[in-house]
Amino acid sequence: MTKEGRNYFVKCPKCEEKFDRSIVENEKIQNRYYHKECAELKRQDEQDKEELINFIEQEIGVNCNRKILNQIAKYRRGGYRYKGMKYTIEYYMLLGFDVDEIEGVGFIPFHYDAAKQHYLTKKDVEKASKNTTPTRQREITISPPHKKDRYKRKNDIDIENL
């Protein structure tokens, strides 16, 4: 390593890895050098955080006080995602609970996994219904045997055209 090269060594604030900014693609934000993809993640994360706060304030009507902001920051440091926290709040309310400014969002760690499971299942169901094939739709519309003859007479042309 040359003396000159060493001067380009920086630590990415996002992933905390050191890299040579003269070689590795990077982005400078507020005087710090980020890996290009870490800068992208940072932006996404900030956007998700803003959405979470907007959701709490505007959609639930709860003021994001210091307590709530601290809880969110603590959970984020603990590995929870902002998007996941938003789902968890939605899920919590779906269960019939209310969110208030006194208790804040302290329930998040207790419901996070269940909320995640709930939304993954919901997504699967939506995906499955979108992927229904024509074959399967035909199977579903087959009438029980005792009704079949009547159905056939009434719908002669339609059936032949299928």
The residues binding Zn ion (CB under 5 A) are: 12, 14-15, 35, 38
Question: Nearest CA to 76 among 103, 53, 100?
Answer: 53
**Do the beta carbons of residue 17 and residue 11 sit within 8 Å?**
yes
Q: How far is the CB of 23 from Zn ion (least distance, A)?
A: 14
Strands 32-35 and 18-20: unpaired
151 burial type by CB count under 10 A (0-12 exposed, 13-18 middle, 19+ buried): middle
Minimum distance of Zn ion from residue 11's CB (angstroms): 9
- For Zn ion, give the closer residue by CB, 43 or 123: 43
Instruction: Identify the residue whose tokens are 């919590």.
Output: 92
Q: How far is the CB of 83 from Zn ion (least distance, A)?
A: 20
Q: How far is the CB of 17 from Zn ion (least distance, A)?
A: 5
Q: Give the containing element (helix H, strand E) for 49.
A: helix 36-54
Give the residue with the Cβ less far from Zn ion, 36 or 122.
36
- Using the minimum distance from each CB to Zn ion, give the nearer residue, 37 or 48: 37
- Kindly tell me which of 39 and 52 has the beta carbon lying closer to Zn ion: 39
For residues 7 and 23, give the distance between their C-alpha atoms in angstroms, rounded to a whole number: 12
Measured N-to-C along each axis, helices 82-94 and 66-77 cross at an angle, to the nearest 10 degrees, of: 120
Closer to Zn ion by CB, 42 or 111: give it. 42
Are 54 and 60 spatial neighbours (Cβ–Cβ below 8 Å)?
A: no
Minimum gap (Å) between residue 27 Cβ and Zn ion: 10
